Every structure is written in structure tokens, then in C-alpha cells.
Structure 1
Amino acid sequence: MDILLVDGYNIIGAWPELRELKNHDLAAARDRLVEQMAEYQAYTGFKVIIVFDAHYVQGIERKYKNSKVDIIFTRENETADERIERLAIELSNIKTQVYVATSDYTEQWAIFGQGALRKSARELYTEMKIIEQRITRKVKKFSEQRPISKIPLKKEVAEIFEKWRRGES
């Protein structure tokens, strides 16, 4: 199984749309990141865990799921980097490849030492945009497809039924 650990505020600060949203509404930026990572998780099959620093949300550590994405707010005085490093150690095994999404250079080197691989914020952003385009194309293609009749009909008979359906004689 592949696991993607996301440094939440690092990604929010690096992605243009989220950075702009953060300037007006930090909670909305977090929610949008969770939505995008839920799409990423559904499309790629990766298990996604987003870690946010506690200094933006005071109080004790919180963990919850939103759209099947695990979200962790660290304890006070614990950074997202520290939690991600611990998670990389805990989750890494012979059957699991851990990736960490961050553009924090120091964090990237620390996670290499834990056996995890990195995705920079830019790499994840590019990958997410490609996934969104593919999803849009699939939805468009699906919506354009004409429903297939379960009963094979000749074209002339199908046209008669279509006229009846429309109320034409």
C-alpha cells in the first residue's frame, strides 16, 4: 500500500489557489486541500494523511477523517514536520511505501533517512492538475455517451420509440 503524508500548511502556502484562499479564510483553504486530497486518494488509491501544525489551531491534538482522508492537528509545541517524521517511521514496512508531500528542504532530507520518498509541493500540484483534467474528461465522456438499450433494436424501431417518448405521432 502507498501512503502520502501531506504537510498541510506547507502545501497551502505553495499552491497558488490555496495561498490566495488562505489570505481570506484559512479554514476554507484547509477544507479545499482536504477536498483535493480526497480526489487524489480516490483516483490514485494512495492512503492520504494530512498533518497540520497546532500553532494555527490551539488545544490538544485532534485526529479525524473527512472524505476518507485522515487529518491530524498536532499537539501544542509539536510541529507537523516532527509528526510526519514519526509517522514515516511508524508506517514504513516491507508492504508500504511512504511518500511525503512538502517543499521544506530540511524535512525532505529527514524523511529520506526514514525510508520515505518525497513529493515537492510543485510535483503534487502538477499531479493534482493532471488528475483533475482526467476526471473532467471522463465525466464529460460519460455524460456524452448515449444510453445503451438493454434490448437490441433496429434503428427504425428505436426511432419510432423515440418519437413516442417525445409525444410525436
Structure 2
Amino acid sequence: MDILLVDGYNIIGAWPELRKLKNTNLSHARDRLIEKMAEYQGYTGYRVIIVFDALYVKGLEKLYHQHKVEVIFTKENESADERIEKLAIQLNNRRTQVHVATSDYTEQWAIFGQGALRISARELLNEVNMIHKKIEKSVKEIHEYKPASRIPLSKDVEEFFEKLRRGKQ
């Protein structure tokens, strides 16, 4: 099993779309990241865990699932880096490969020591964009080959019925 641990605010600060959104509404930026990671999770099959630290959201530790993505808000005095390192240790075993998405250089070296692989924010963005294009292409192909009728008709008959439907006989 592959697990992707995402340093939420690091990714938000690194991706242009999310950084711009963060400047107007941080909550929307977090939601957009979760949506993108849900799409990533659905396509790759990875277990995705996004960790946000208590820097911007004060309060108690919180864990919830949204779109099959696990979202963690750390305790008030715990950074996302600390939580990610703990998770990397807990989750890493012979059957599991942990990947950590962050552009924090210090964090990258720390997770290497835990046996996890790193993905920079730019690499993750490129991968997410590539997956999005593949999904769009698949959806387009499905719509192109989707028959307009449940009854198989030849192209000529389809065109005739379409003209009738539009009153253009």
C-alpha cells in the first residue's frame, strides 16, 4: 500500500492557484487542496493524509475524513512537520511505502531518515495536473462514444431522428 502524507500549508504556499486563494480565503484554499488530493487519491489508489498545523487554526487536535482523504489539524503546540514525522514512523513497514509531499528541505531530510520518499510541491502539482488531464481525456472519450439512444442505430437513422426532433424535416 502507498500512503501520501501532505504538508497542507506548505503545499498551499507553493502552488500558485492555492497561494492566490489563500490570500483571500484560507478555508477555500484548504478545501481546494482537499478536492485535488481526493482526485489524486481516486486515480492513484494511494491513502492520502493531509496535515495542517495549528499555526493558522487554533484549538484542539482534529481528525476527519473528506472525500476519502484524511485531514488532520495538529495540537496547538505541534507542527505539521512533527506530526508527519510521527506518522512516517508509525505507517512505514514492509508492505507500505510512505511518500511525503513537502518542499521544506529540513523536513525532506527528516523523512528520509524514517524510510519515506519525498515529493516536492512542484512534483506533486505536475502529477496532479497530469492526472487531471488524463481524467478529462477519459471523460471526453466516454462522452464521444456514448450512444445518443439505448437502441443501436446507424448514423443515417440517428441524423434522421435528430432532424425530426428538431423539427427540421
DSSP 3-state at the match of 1:55: coil
* Mapped partners of 1:160, 1:150: distance in 2: 12
Structure 2 unaligned blocks of 5 or more: none
Which residue number in structure 1 is paired with residue 73 of structure 2?
73
Which amino acid letter does the alignment assign opposite residue 33 of structure 2?
A: L
Q: Percent identity?
A: 63
Residue number in structure 2 paired with 1:56: 56
Q: How far apart, CA to CA, are the structure 2 residues paired with 1:164 and 1:59?
A: 60
Q: Structure 1 residues 164, 19: CA separation in 2 closer, same or farther (over 3 Å shift)?
A: closer
Q: TM-score, normalised by structure 2?
A: 0.91
Give the residue type in structure 2 aligned to 1:141: E
Distance 2:32 2:121 in 1: 15
| Correspondence for 1:104 | 104
Matched, 1:43 2:43: yes
- 1:18-52 CA-partner distances (Å, limit 9, x unpaired): 00000000000000000000000000110000000
Deviation (angstroms), 1:147 = 1.7
- Distance in structure 2 (CA, Å) of the matches to 1:25 and 1:139: 31
Partner of 1:159: 157
**How much has 1:146 moved relative to structure 2?**
3.5
Counterpart of 1:129? 129
Q: Which amino acid aligns with 1:113?
A: G
Instruction: Name the SS for the 2:55 alignment partner.
Output: helix
CA shift digits 1:25-84 (9 cap, x unpaired) = 000000000000000000011000000011211111000000010000000110000000
Which residue does the alignment assign to 1:113? 113
SS of 1:129 mapped into structure 2: helix
Aligned length: 167
In the alignment, does 2:19 pair up with 1:19? yes
Q: Give the match for residue 94 of structure 2.
A: 94
Q: Distance in 2 between matches of 1:160 and 1:138?
A: 24
Q: Which structure 1 segments of 5+ residues have no match?
A: none
Which residue identity does 2:134 align to in structure 1? R
